[in-house]
Structure 1
């Protein structure tokens, strides 16, 4: 039995990201320049969503849960990897693809049920079963909706939040 994997360049072409989502308040640039791979941020995450990525640097794994923006990762890091935790944690927001079960007429709203920010809601004006409407300004990019989607129709994409 063989296992197929996608090359990083193929993954980047599909997602725009070559290594995955970095922790809140960090960037690919600061990870590359300042992270020493000490794993303190990973070990400090109470939600256990930070995992070792390339060169043992932190990446977010939303299959393990959602980010609560508790700041533990930023506070545990001894290097200047994280920006001010008073700033917006990242420019991510949910995006729904055509693979959503509602688009094929099957009722589902697991993502709306778990969204604490009410950024995802069922819009019943679209028939027959509605569609998921996203208030991207309200979406924190916490990732709570990602592991629940039975068709993996939800992704996080870059979005410049207002304010």
Structure 2
């Protein structure tokens, strides 16, 4: 019989605190101690955005798609890692860098077209193409805007 506590001792790694792990994660500081890396969350992700990250621990990869907040990952987890579904899934928000095509005066509204909550809207400016305006109060951190960005200029990360 394998003692998992001893196995974790040898495989424990420092985890980047800004890594988007999973929605509704109750305690991100204890995540690496409690997660058994069974893979059930990734198998049940309806958009296939949960991947094996650093040390084999699950994390979200928005370059693959968006989080629909289906709660499937939490429902199948055999450990007590998740908060109730009615709670806020996470404190993560999108940010748009200067590599954005619109900020380079090239017409592009891909991210705004994908944003279901309309957190990304484009504002007309004199002498420029319409510029992205991100309303953080409306942003759910779902990541729908990330994969469609042709210049990879959108990131979703935890609020610090």
TM-score scaled by structure 2?
A: 0.83
Deviations 1:16-55 (A, max 9, x none): 73xx320101153232121111111111111111111123
SS in 2 for 1:133: strand
Mark the runs of 5 or more structure 2 residues left unpaired by the alignment.
1-12
- Counterpart of 1:146 in structure 2 is 146
Residues 86-97 of structure 1 mapped to structure 2, 5 A cutoff: 86-97=86-97
Bigger relative contact order, structure 1 or 2 (CA pairs below 8 A, ≥6 apart): 2
60-69 vs 30-39, greater mean Cα deviation = 30-39
8 A contact 1:94–1:154 mirrored in 2? yes
CA distance 1:126–1:45, shift in 2 (3 Å): farther
Mark the runs of 5 or more structure 1 residues left unpaired by the alignment.
1-7
Deviations 1:31-87 (A, max 9, x none): 212111111111111111111112321111112111000000000001111122211
CA distance in structure 2 between the partners assigned to 1:53 and 1:125 by the alignment? 41
Larger radius of gyration: 2
Moved over 3 A (4+): none
CA distance in structure 2 between the partners assigned to 1:157 and 1:40 by the alignment? 24
